[in-house]
Amino acid sequence: MIAPPAALVLGVALVAWAWWAPAPTEVAPPRVPISATAAMAAMGVPAAPVPAARPAPVPDARPNAMQAQAATPLLAGLLTAPEGQLRASVHAALAARVHGGRLYARALARRCAALAGLPASEQRPDANDPRHQRAVVRQAALAAGCAQFATEEWLAVVNVGAEEISTDDPLLALQQSDLDDAALLRPVFARPEALLLDELGERLLLRRIGGEAALYFDGRRFDNDADRALAQAAVRLLPCQFGLACDERDPEVWLACLRGDGCAGSRAEQAPAAAQALALRLAAALRGRELHRFLPAP
């Protein structure tokens, strides 16, 4: 049998494909994107003027107010974390140095110094007092937390070196500065951090009047011993108005119980009513940024 020529076979295949192949479909042309401006022009709508190009904003490496505000409750929570987790709390505070965490770490480590300074031979309150019993439990927990450090370690956190004082830690820089009067108060007004208020203490009211240092607020000088004690007690209560835990979780409260200075339930219970009233006025002036109430007339 003689094979058909290759050309004949190819021709038959082409005829079969042309007969049985589906009809070609029409391919739509690709869509060309059109801008909103061009679409409006096509509809006869006048285009809005094109705004001038603005330079891209330069990122600020410093934490803004919103970041600092968000970090505040997280840092404040470290002050009420379990005493047995002290090392973790200190490290967490140090990791947030840019938001003021170094100041928090120092306050936490200073509890070990307060515990070490607690006289073992001091006469203790009634062991049946439930507040005293809770203070003893906190003492044991803090001792366990401080034992997670070598003494040199927590001392290094308590003591602030000159090289650590920089704008990288805004709270520590302000607390360690020698600013006074309006220069000190304005940044405090901008960020009334409870721990910062606690650390500054009576510096918030200390003014130089007639060449003499005096505590001053709202047109009043606190000169004699009783008045100074009142102002100091009010300043001690001021951070409580801004979120500081001033109840039995406060080391100042439960350590006083162990020292035999009375087992109160809070700082407010340790202060007279007049100091509590003055603290409320201080807090209102601070929130209202009423600088004139803190400064004597020139």
**pLDDT number for residue 173:** 93
pLDDT value at 63 more than 70: no
Poorest-pLDDT segment among 28-37, 92-101, 166-175: 28-37
> Residue 54 is encoded by which pair of tokens?
């603005």
**pLDDT number for residue 19:** 37
Q: Whole-prediction pTM value? A: 0.75
**pLDDT number for residue 168:** 79
Poorest-pLDDT segment among 59-63, 73-77, 78-82, 215-219: 59-63
pLDDT value at 125 more than 60: no
Q: Find out whether 53 and 79 touch, Cβ atoms under 8 Å.
A: no
Model confidence over 198-236: pLDDT tens digits? Answer: 999 999 999 999 999 999 999 999 999 999 999 999 999
Q: Find out whether 78 and 92 touch, Cβ atoms under 8 Å.
A: yes
Q: Find out whether 97 and 166 touch, Cβ atoms under 8 Å.
A: no
Q: Which amino acid is at 240?
A: C
pLDDT value at 122 more than 60: no
Q: Higher model confidence: residue 4 or residue 167?
A: 167
Per-residue pLDDT, averaged over 251-280, amounts to 96
Percent of the chain with pLDDT over 90: 66
Q: Higher model confidence: residue 201 or residue 67?
A: 201
pLDDT value at 113 more than 50: yes
Task: Tell me how crowded residue 260 is: count the other CB atoms within 10 A of its CB.
Answer: 13
Which helix (H) or strand (E) segment holds residue 212: the answer is strand 212-217
> Domain ranges in the chain?
65-293
Model confidence over 172-206: pLDDT tens digits? Answer: 999 999 999 999 999 999 999 999 999 999 999 99
Q: Find out whether 164 and 103 touch, Cβ atoms under 8 Å.
A: no
**pLDDT number for residue 243:** 96
Percent of the chain with pLDDT over 70: 73
